[in-house]
Amino acid sequence: MHKSIFFRRLLVMLLLALLLWTLMTAVFYNHISRPIFTKIKVSEMQPKAKSLAALAGRSFLQGDPYFDSLVQSSYELFDAWTFVIDSVTQEIYAGSLPEEAADSESAIHSQIISSSSELLDGSAESLWFTYKLPGSAEEMLFVGVPVNFRFGQQTGIIGALYFVKPMSELNAGFRSMNIALITASITVFIIMLLPLYFAAARLIKPLKQTRDVALAMASGNFTVRAVADIRKLGEIGELALIMNHLADKLADSISELTTERNRLRQIIDCMAEGILATDRYGNIILTNSMVWSLLGLDKLHEQATPQQIMDHDNLKETLLEVMGTGEEKTIIIRTAARIIACQVAPIEEANGVIAGSVALFRDITESERLEQTRRDYVANISHELRTPLTAMRALLEPLSDNMVRSEEDRIRYYQILLKETIRLSRLINDMLDLSRLQAGSDELNMQSFSPAEMLRELIMKYENHAEDLGIHLILTDNTKNCPAAYGNPERIEQVLVILLDNALKYTPENGSIELAAQWDEYKITISVKDSGPGIELEDIDHVFDRFYKADKAHRQPGTGLGLAIAREIMTRHGEAIWVRSEAQQGARFCFTLRRSDNVDMLNKKQ
């Protein structure tokens, strides 16, 4: 509290006011009390003077010796010297003066003579004045009354009586009173120091608390409150209460704004699109985590800065251009892994002034990939359809024009037409089959079956064909112990046929194809491994795409839809299918199946 400037100023002001009150009281008392005390003394002396004046009148008429003795002893009796002036002779009768006042007798007589006219002519019933003796610091108080006489029916003024008293005694009393007053004032001043301190401290306390509340609010702390009692502290208490109310309102407002900001921040961070906002100078003021992810930047990395965002494809220039023109603009940003569409729009204030810009980043990699896939699909299917149709047309035109004369040639032409028709039919059937699988229109009849038996039958079906191609089909020994699997047997056999056909196509003469099965307590993994040229690294991620062929020249027969169909079948089963391959090391295609006994146990628990 003692460090408070306002407290010190208030305390000093109160102390100065108290000190000024003490000094002004002493000054005014000294100025006012002197004539007041003089009048009091005069009021005490005038009755005595009038009584003695009555005796003086009888003494003048009757020659009373008692009056002379009173005049001589007047100082002892009346605390003043007595002087009587005769109105006719102007003679002054006086008692004996002390030695220290003897030299002033003529001056006293002169003042009595000069002032007695008002008393002698009856214009004043009494008078008093002070007179400072010449050549001396002594001041005298003069109190005069007329001396009246009554003889029969006649009355008149025959003289005047004066009491003369030195002011030294009065001044001594006055000085004593001044000293007492000053002493009392100083004592009161000292005594009031402590009450003034506590009063000022009590007065300043709510102001200090109000200041603390304001400082706390300025620093963001809205929990501090001032203790105030408006009934005791009046306007200061009311100020403290108003500050408390303001703190409550601000706390509520800040809390609501913080909640809204956090909610908005969460919404922005949860958006699938990236958001970036700048001020009017192009400085970034807001981003969400998706921006950094889309652009391949790690926001938490110590080297990651907003400038790295601006460096992508002249983004900063685009933001400034939009703020300059006020028109929206869309640019495409390409990174190593993504294609991003960035839509930039200006941010306008209520008065129409552009205060910044906002950019929306949207990942269009997938849509671009799908568009490219669609174009590739159209190109591939056009190629696959055009090839047999072209061949069929080339054979049908000479047949239609009866240009083929030989029956043997005609039969050969018909066989080629049948082969191309079958190829075209297979392509169409594969396309329809893939579409049904992707649409989920075919219901899978899930049941328990034996993968070992299915693999043995498959080996028997393809054994002759493989021998014709000079390829050895191998079924691993442990396959016969493979547990039952759960799935659609027809579709699983279709997957195996696709993988085996694919292996036969790429396995050279004297090569081998191995069918194997491995399992654990939950899954069965079936694999088809060939000894062909393998799959290049750039092709391995695309082998399950529609119409994709590692053989870009399309020298190998096939529609390019088999592996895509196999993947869709396994996806419908909720299983995985993958390939592992190295160049010139062959390829191994694998897929998983659930064990039937594990499914049965799960059904029993449910």
Tokens of 71: 């005049």
399-408 average pLDDT score:
78
Task: Identify whether residues 505 and 563 lie together within a single domain.
Answer: yes
Containing domain of residue 372, as a range? Answer: 368-438
Q: Are residues 381 and 307 in the same domain?
A: no
pLDDT at 341: 85
Q: How far is 170 from 154, CA to CA, in rounded Å?
A: 40
- pLDDT band at residue 68 using 50, 70 and 90 as cut-offs: low
Q: Among residues 387, 415, 438, which one ends one of the domains? A: 438
Q: Is residue 236 part of a domain?
A: no
**CA angle centred on 341, ends 335 and 342, rounded to 5°:** 100
Pairing mode of beta strands 472-475, 512-519: parallel
Same domain, 16 and 143: yes
Residue 362 in this model has a pLDDT that exceeds 80: yes
Domain ends where: 312, 344, 363?
A: 363
The C-alpha atoms of residue 87 and residue 117 are separated, in whole angstroms, by 9
- pLDDT over 90 percentage in the chain: 8
* Residue 232 domain flag: no
Instruction: Mean pLDDT check: name the lowest of 125-129, 418-422, 469-473, 485-489.
Output: 418-422
The enclosing domain of 500 has a CATH number of 3.30.565.10
Q: Are residues 487 and 565 in the same domain?
A: yes
Amino acid at 584: Q
Q: In terms of domains, do 301 and 423 share one?
A: no
Residue 214 lies in a domain: no
Q: What is the DSSP letter of 477?
A: G
Last residue of some domain: 159, 176, 193? 176
**Residue 352 lies inside a defined structural domain of this protein:** yes
In terms of domains, do 75 and 102 share one?
A: yes
End-to-end CA distance of the chain: 75
Q: Kindly state whether residues 307 and 382 are assigned to the same domain.
A: no
Going by pLDDT thresholds of 50, 70 and 90, the confidence category of residue 553 is very low
Mean pLDDT of the chain: 78
Claim to verify: residue 498 and residue 517 sit in the same structural domain: yes
CATH number of the domain that residue 352 is part of: 3.30.450.20
Interior/surface letters 562-585, b for 16+ CB within 10 angstroms, e for the rest: bbbbbbbbbebbebebebebeeee
Ranked by mean pLDDT, which of 47-61, 138-152, 263-277, 497-511 comes out on top?
Answer: 497-511
For residue 377, pLDDT beyond 70: no
- pLDDT band, very low/low/confident/very high, at 300 (cuts 50, 70, 90): low
Same domain, 356 and 428: no
Q: Is residue 485 part of a domain?
A: yes
Whether 250 maps to a domain, the answer reads no
Instruction: Assign 543 a pLDDT band (cuts: 50, 70, 90).
Output: confident
Give yes or no: residues 555 and 594 share one domain. yes
Residues 349 and 374 in one domain: no
The dihedral region occupied by 53, where left means phi > 0, alpha psi between -120 and 50, and beta the remainder, is: alpha
Residue 103 confidence (pLDDT): 67
- Residue 245 domain flag: no
Kindly give the pairing relationship between strand 284-287 and strand 274-279.
antiparallel
Residue 237 included in any domain: no
Give the integer Cα–Cα distance in Å for 24 and 273: 82
Chain centroid to CA 112: how far? Answer: 94
pLDDT confidence of 189, banded at 50, 70, 90? confident
The 3 state secondary structure assigned to 73-126 is CHHHHHCCEEEEEECCCCCEEECCCCHHHHCCHHHHHHHHHHHCHHHHCCCCCC
Indicate if 405 and 537 belong to the same structural domain: no
Q: How many domains does the chain have?
A: 4
The CATH number of residue 414's host domain is: 1.10.287.130
At residue 528, the pLDDT reads 92
pTM attached to this predicted model: 0.42
Q: Write out pLDDT tens, residues 415-468.
A: 877 877 877 776 676 666 666 666 666 677 888 999 999 999 988 888 888 888
